[in-house]
Structure 1
Amino acid sequence: MANIRAKQHCVKCDNDAGTTVCGGCQQWLCNNHFAQHREDLDEELNRIDQKCYSFDEKISEHSVMDAFHSRINEWKSASIKKIEDVTEQTRTDLDNYFNKSNTRFKELLDKIKNELALSRGSNNYTEMELERWNDRLNKLQQLLEKLSAITIVGDDPVQPRIRIILPEGMSKYNYGLHNFSLKSQR
């Protein structure tokens, strides 16, 4: 028995003469509409090709990378500025500390020198005064030597800033001289 196939009609014009099925969309089309269908597919292929070309250009452009580089450069500049600010503040703090320390040392030394001059002028001193003055000078000398033991610390992973670490017994405000007395102990 012969296999009789029913005629298929074009989905666009309902024509049943010379219809062909599209292998992609599985629609039956007459010769005219099949040619138009192929042109439509060619146009879509060209649009996709153009998208690929445009995308390739975007990949080749470094606009995204440039934006990140710009942000990194801004971060670098801001970080350098912060480091410069902290460095300048640390330098100022250290200068102030040494200036105040030197002023206080000079005040204490001047008091000792005045006592020496007064005692020498009145010829009023004994071994006890000499020992006390010598002891005070030795203590001042020790405190002066402690000033050179100041440590400047940077690159602390927990606290990323530059700090001044003063020797034990010295603070930013008392210079190690808070318990130092020049009063005569008679």
Structure 2
Amino acid sequence: MATAKSRTQYSICNKQKNTYNCCGCSKDFCSQHLTEHRQLLAEQLDEIIDDHDQFQQTIIQQKQNPIDSSLIEQINEWETNSIKKVQKIAQECRDALMKWTQKSINNVEKKFIDLFQKLKEIREENELNEIDLKHFQLKLTQITQELFQPVNISIHHDPQEIIKKISIISLSKRVRFKLNKWSQRGIIIAGSNQQGDQLNQLSAPEGIFIDNHNNICIADCDNHRIVEWKCHSNEGQIIAGNNGRGNRNDQLSYPINVIVDKENNSLIISDYKNKRVIRLFRRNPTKQQILISHIYCWSVAMDKHGFIYVSDWKKNEVRRWKEGDERGTIVAGGNGRGNDVNQLNRPTYIFVDKHDSLYISDSSNNRVMKWKKNAK
């Protein structure tokens, strides 16, 4: 809308004319140029309407085909590659199953031939009696059952993913719509064959340590030993102890915790009842090195510098030990038993992060404490 003003010297025409002020751009126009100005505005409005119509047509097309074709192609490629991987592994498993099944049948056939040969020999010697008959009948029954019973093979589900999961992320709302969910059931990776001391059994396992290959070292406390379970293995390997409870160099007494010192290729063990922390070199597992003695040790940890941390549940403190230290340095607690922020009460498991901050399971205080480096 334009408003009329008194006659002035109009700059465009350079004449005395009545001018009109445009409320939009705040410029003055004579009647002739005001008409041209309005016509220009009308043309610009028409362009905006055309852009609107074109954009509306684009929206209609997007509604009919809302998915970005390039993203669909990526999903299709992932689907195809995943199916190929699954089919390849499935065929390998089928081939392996056929191989083991055939091997089992061959073993049964060999047992049957051997049994028949013995039967033939006894018959030729004419020394057959009731005991032999019962024995052959029993063996034949066992071989028959072995043939018709399923072979000792099962399907093992690998916890490691062979197919990388994909998901759709909205960058505007940062909302992730997952195509996969966490499994609602855990996977047994060690033990679960009742309490015992066999290689596939554990008895009151305590601390664990997992290396870069997903092998797990376990402080098998009541068996007085340290066992290592290789990834996907059905039984453990004894790497320390298992010589009965005792304090000899080749014995342990209720080991509580174990960590792996990668630099020295050794194990650091909290030998709880023997009140000592020992080092065991993997290359010479029968020789133990006592690092710390006369300590009510529970948990051990190691920082990036190779310093060893030990929780002393009797003295209610955690000490850091350098190689060759005789007393170590108190880094947490050490102010008597209590629940103040500078005290601990039966500290058990500990962990040191990359910033040398110490996390402590403060057992009898029912809390977890974080002690930063050089905290008092």
Bin for the TM-score computed over the shorter chain:
0.5 to 0.7
Distance 1:146 1:56, change over 3 A: same
Looking at structure 2, the residues matched to 11 and 125 of structure 1 have their Cα atoms a distance apart, in angstroms, of 138
Residue 117 of structure 1: aligned partner: 120
Contact 1:112 1:133 in 2 (8 A): yes
> What one-letter code is carried by the residue in structure 2 that aligns with 1:40?
L
Distance 1:6 1:31, change over 3 A: closer
Matched, 1:78 2:113: no
Distance 1:146 1:9, change over 3 A: farther
Residue 28 of structure 2: aligned partner: 28
88, 100, 103: which one aligns with 1:97 = 100
Structure 2, unpaired ranges of 5+:
158-181, 185-376
Greater share of helix: 1
Residue 50 of structure 1: aligned partner: 50
Q: Can you list the C-alpha shifts for 1:14-35, whole angstroms capped at 9, x where unaligned? A: 8762221224334332334423
Shifted more, 5-14 versus 55-64: the winner is 5-14
Within 5 A, what are the aligned runs for 1:56-67? 56-59=56-59, 60=61, 62=65, 64-67=67-70
Distance 1:57 1:124, change over 3 A: farther
Contact 1:20 1:30 in 2 (8 A): yes
Q: What is the deviation of 1:12?
A: 6.4
Contact 1:11 1:29 in 2 (8 A): no
129, 133, 137: which one aligns with 1:130 = 133
Looking at structure 2, the residues matched to 128 and 19 of structure 1 have their Cα atoms a distance apart, in angstroms, of 133
> What one-letter code is carried by the residue in structure 1 that aligns with 2:112?
L
Q: Can you list the C-alpha shifts for 1:113-170, whole angstroms capped at 9, x where unaligned? A: 121122222223333332222222222222223218977799xx849xxxxxxxxxxx
Deviating above 4 A after TM superposition, structure 1's stretches of 4 or more consecutive aligned residues are: 5-16, 148-154
> What one-letter code is carried by the residue in structure 1 that aligns with 2:43?
E
Q: Can you list the C-alpha shifts for 1:77-135, whole angstroms capped at 9, x where unaligned? A: 33443443343233222212211111111111111112112222222333333222222
User: TM-score scaled to structure 1, two decimals?
Assistant: 0.60
Greater share of strand: 2
> What one-letter code is carried by the residue in structure 1 that aligns with 2:87?
E
Percent identical residues: 25
Shifted more, 124-133 versus 56-65: the winner is 56-65
> What one-letter code is carried by the residue in structure 2 that aligns with 1:114?
Q
Distance 1:147 1:21, change over 3 A: same
Looking at structure 2, the residues matched to 15 and 140 of structure 1 have their Cα atoms a distance apart, in angstroms, of 123
Looking at structure 1, the residues matched to 11 and 128 of structure 2 have their Cα atoms a distance apart, in angstroms, of 129
Select the structure of larger CA radius of gyration.
Answer: 1
> What one-letter code is carried by the residue in structure 2 that aligns with 1:113?
F
Contact 2:22 2:29 in 1 (8 A): yes
Looking at structure 2, the residues matched to 96 and 9 of structure 1 have their Cα atoms a distance apart, in angstroms, of 106
Distance 1:112 1:20, change over 3 A: same
Distance 1:37 1:145, change over 3 A: same
Q: Equivalent residue of 2:149, what SS?
A: helix
User: TM-score scaled to structure 2, two decimals?
Assistant: 0.33
Looking at structure 2, the residues matched to 133 and 12 of structure 1 have their Cα atoms a distance apart, in angstroms, of 126
Shifted more, 100-109 versus 43-52: the winner is 43-52
- Calculate the aligned-residue CA RMSD, in Å: 3.7
Looking at structure 1, the residues matched to 10 and 142 of structure 2 have their Cα atoms a distance apart, in angstroms, of 113
